[in-house]
Amino acid sequence: MAHQVVILGGGFGGLYAAQALKHADISLTMVDRRNFHLFQPLLYQVATGSLSPGEIAAPLRSVLSSQPNAKVLLDEAIGIDAAGKKLILADVGPIPYDTLIVATGSRTSYFGNDQWEEFAPGLKTIEDATRMRHKILFAFEEAEREPDMDMRNAWLTFVIVGGGPTGVELAGALGEIANDTMRNEFDNIKPENARILLLDGGERILSNYPESLSDAAVNSLIKLGVRTRNKVRVTGVDADGVTLKTVAGIERIEAKTILWGAGVRASEFGKVLGEAGVPLDHGGRVLVNPDLTAGAHPNIFVVGDLASLLQDGNPLPGVAPSAMQQGKYAAKVIMARLKGQPAPAPFRYFDKGSLAVIGRTAAVAYFEKFGKLMFSGPIAWLLWLFVHLMYIVEFEARVLVFIRWGFNYLTFQRGARLITGIAATMRKPEPPALKPQ
Amino acid sequence: MAHQVVILGGGFGGLYAAQALKHADISLTMVDRRNFHLFQPLLYQVATGSLSPGEIAAPLRSVLSSQPNAKVLLDEAIGIDAAGKKLILADVGPIPYDTLIVATGSRTSYFGNDQWEEFAPGLKTIEDATRMRHKILFAFEEAEREPDMDMRNAWLTFVIVGGGPTGVELAGALGEIANDTMRNEFDNIKPENARILLLDGGERILSNYPESLSDAAVNSLIKLGVRTRNKVRVTGVDADGVTLKTVAGIERIEAKTILWGAGVRASEFGKVLGEAGVPLDHGGRVLVNPDLTAGAHPNIFVVGDLASLLQDGNPLPGVAPSAMQQGKYAAKVIMARLKGQPAPAPFRYFDKGSLAVIGRTAAVAYFEKFGKLMFSGPIAWLLWLFVHLMYIVEFEARVLVFIRWGFNYLTFQRGARLITGIAATMRKPEPPALKPQ
Contacts of B124 in chain A (CB under 8 A): none
Chain B, nearest residue to A186 by Cα:
B71
Give pLDDT, residue B431: 39
d(C-alpha B30, C-alpha B36), whole Å: 11
Q: Identify all chain A residues contacting B427, using CB atoms and an 8 Å cutoff.
A: 91
Taking contacts as CB-CB distances below 8 angstroms, the residues of chain B near A145 are 73-75, 91-92
Q: Which of residues 111-130 of A touch B (CB under 8 A)?
A: 126-127, 130
Task: Please compute the mean of the pLDDT values over residues A371-375 and round it to a whole number.
Answer: 70
Burial of A27 (0-12, 13-18, 19+ CB in 10 A): middle
Distance (Å) from the alpha carbon of A293 to chain B's nearest alpha carbon: 28
- Is there a contact between A76 and B425 if contact means CB atoms under 8 Å apart? yes
Mean per-residue pLDDT, A304-325: 94
**According to the model, what pLDDT value does residue A218 have?**
93
What averages of pLDDT result for each successive group of 10 residues across chain B (437 residues)? 95 97 97 93 90 87 92 95 96 96 96 94 93 93 93 97 94 92 89 96 91 90 94 96 94 97 93 96 95 97 97 92 96 97 96 82 77 75 81 73 71 67 40 39
Task: Kindly report the backbone phi and psi dihedral angles of residue A209, in degrees, each rounded to the nearest multiple of 5, phi listed first.
Answer: -95, 160
Interface touch A76/B418, C-beta < 8 Å? no
Is residue A394 within 8 angstroms of chain B, CB to CB? yes
Residue A409 is predicted with a pLDDT of 67
Name the residues of B annotated as catalytic: 169
* Phi and psi at residue A92, to the nearest 5°: -80, -25
pLDDT confidence of residue A1: 77
Distances (CA, A) of B137 to B141, B158, B346, B421, B424: 7, 11, 48, 13, 10
Put simply, the answer to whether B415 touches A422 (Cβ < 8 Å) is no
Question: What integer pLDDT is reported at residue B412 of this predicted model?
Answer: 65
Report yes or no: A419 at the B interface, CB cutoff 8 Å: yes
The nearest CA of chain A is from the CA of B297 a distance in Å of 28
Q: Give the integer Cα–Cα distance in Å for A347 and A42.
A: 27
Q: Quick count: other Cβ atoms within 10 Å of Cβ B65?
A: 18
- Residue B330 C-alpha, separation from nearest chain A C-alpha, in angstroms: 25
To test the contact with chain A by mutation, choose from B31, B33, B35, B78 the residue with the greatest count of A C-beta atoms within 10 A, namely: B35
* Nearest Cα residue to A346 out of A290, A286, A287, A289: A290
Determine contact, residues A312/A306, Cβ cutoff 8 Å.
Answer: no
Which of B400, B404, B434, B437 is the best mutation test for A, with the most CBs of A within 10 A?
A: B400
Shortest CA distance to B356 belongs to which of B170, B177, B169, B197? B169
Q: Do A35 and B76 touch (CB under 8 A)?
A: no
**Which residue of chain B is at minimal alpha-carbon distance from A398?**
B415
* Pick from B54, B127, B421: CB nearest A52: B54
Q: Which residue of B has its CA nearest to A417?
A: B59
Q: Does residue B94 sit at the A interface (CB-CB below 8 Å)? A: no
Cross-chain residue pair B53–A57, CB shorter than 8 Å: no
Quick check: A55 contacting B, CB < 8 Å?
yes
Q: Is B314 exposed, middle or buried (0-12, 13-18, 19+ CB in 10 A)?
A: exposed
**Do the chains contact at A403 and B404, CB–CB below 8 Å?**
no
Greatest extent of chain B over all pairs of C-alpha atoms, in Å? 74
Chain B CB contacts of A404 below 8 Å: 396, 400
Strand, coil or helix: A208: coil
Supply the pLDDT for residue A260: 97
Predicted pLDDT at A371: 64
What ipTM was assigned to the predicted interfaces of this complex?
0.77
Structural domains present in chain A: 3-33+75-108+265-338 (3.50.50.60), 114-262+353-411 (3.50.50.100)
If phi > 0 it is left, if psi is from -120 to 50 it is alpha, else beta; for residue B400 that is: alpha
Mutate to test the interface with B, among A37, A62, A188 (most CBs of B within 10 A): A62
How would you class A326 by CB atoms within 10 Å of its CB: exposed for 0-12, middle for 13-18, buried for 19 or more? buried
Q: Closest chain A residue to B91 measured between Cα atoms?
A: A425
Helix (H) or strand (E) holding B54: none
Q: Which among B185, B396, B425 is the nearest to A61, CB-wise?
A: B185
Phi, psi dihedral angles at A52 (to 5 degrees): -90, 150
Over its C-alpha atoms, chain B yields an Rg (Å, rounded) of: 22
Tally the residues of chain B. 437
> Chain B residue with minimal CA distance to A413?
B62
A418 contacts B59? CB cut-off 8 A: yes
Which residues of chain B lie closer than 8 angstroms to A78, CB-CB?
A: none
Say which of B51, B58, B407 has its CB closest to residue A396. Answer: B407
SS3 for B390-417, per residue?
HHCCCHHHHHHHHHHHHHHHHHCCCCCC
Q: Using DSSP, state whether B192 is helix, strand or coil.
A: helix
Q: To the nearest whole number, what is the mean pLDDT of chain A?
A: 89
Residue B262's CB is within 10 A of a number of other CB atoms, namely 23
pLDDT at B278: 96
The string of DSSP codes covering A48-87 is TTSS-GGGSEEEHHHHHTT-TTEEEEE--EEEEETTTTEE
Closest C-alpha to A6, from A106, A107, A81:
A81
Sequence-ordered list of residues with C-beta below 8 angstroms from that of B66, at least 6 positions apart, any chain: none
Q: What is the DSSP letter of A181?
A: I
Confidence class of residue A368 from pLDDT cuts 50, 70 and 90?
Answer: confident
For β-strands B249-254 and A307-308, DSSP reports them as unpaired
Confidence of residue A180 (pLDDT cuts 50, 70, 90): confident
Which residue on chain A is closest to B424 by alpha carbon? A33
HSE-up of residue A86 (Cα within 13 Å, Cβ side)? 9
- Active-site positions of A? 169
Q: With a CB-CB cutoff of 8 Å, which residues 69-88 of chain B face chain A?
A: 71-76
Cβ(B415)–Cβ(A37) below 8 Å: no
Contact A407 B396 (CB under 8 A): yes
Contact at 8 Å (CB) between B80 and B276? yes
- What is the phi/psi pair of residue A361, to 5°? -130, 10
Q: What is the mean predicted confidence (pLDDT) over A324-351?
A: 96
Q: Give the nearest partner residue to A53 out of B52, B76, B397, using CB atoms.
A: B52
Do residue B145 and residue A91 have CB atoms under 8 angstroms apart? yes
CB contact under 8 A, B185 and A418: no
CB distance from B417 to chain A under 8 Å?
yes
Question: Rounded to whole angstroms, how far apart are CA atoms A75 and A291?
Answer: 27
pLDDT at B409: 67
Tell whether A93 lies on the interface with B, counting CB pairs under 8 A: no
Which of A174-213 are b and which e, b meaning 16 or more Cβ less than 10 Å from the residue's Cβ? bbbbbbbbbeebbeebebeebbbbbbbbeebbbeebeeeb
A328 has pLDDT over 90: yes
Hey, what long-range contacts does B282-286 have (CB within 8 A, 24 or more apart)? B283/B308, B286/B102
CB contact under 8 A, A403 and B403: yes
Q: Please, where are the H alpha helices in B251-394? A: 269-275, 320-338, 378-391
Q: Does any CB of chain B come closer than 8 Å to the CB of residue A407?
A: yes
Residue B220 identity (one-letter amino acid) = S
- Nearest chain A Cα distance for residue B11, angstroms: 15
Name the β-bridge partners of A376.
A364
Kindly state the average pLDDT of the residues A63-83: 94
Q: What span, in angstroms and rounded, lies between the C-alpha atoms of A146 and A152?
A: 6
- Residue B91, classed as helix, strand or coil, is coil
Residues 6+ apart with CB under 8 A from A361: A377, A378, A381
Measured distance CA(A143)–CA(A157) in Å, rounded: 10
Distance from CA of A285 to the nearest CA of B (A): 23
Instruction: Provide the pLDDT for residue A15.
Output: 96
Task: Give the separation between CA A277 and CA A290, rounded to whole angstroms.
Answer: 18
User: Do β-strands A241-246 and A249-254 pair in parallel, antiparallel, or remain unpaired?
Assistant: antiparallel
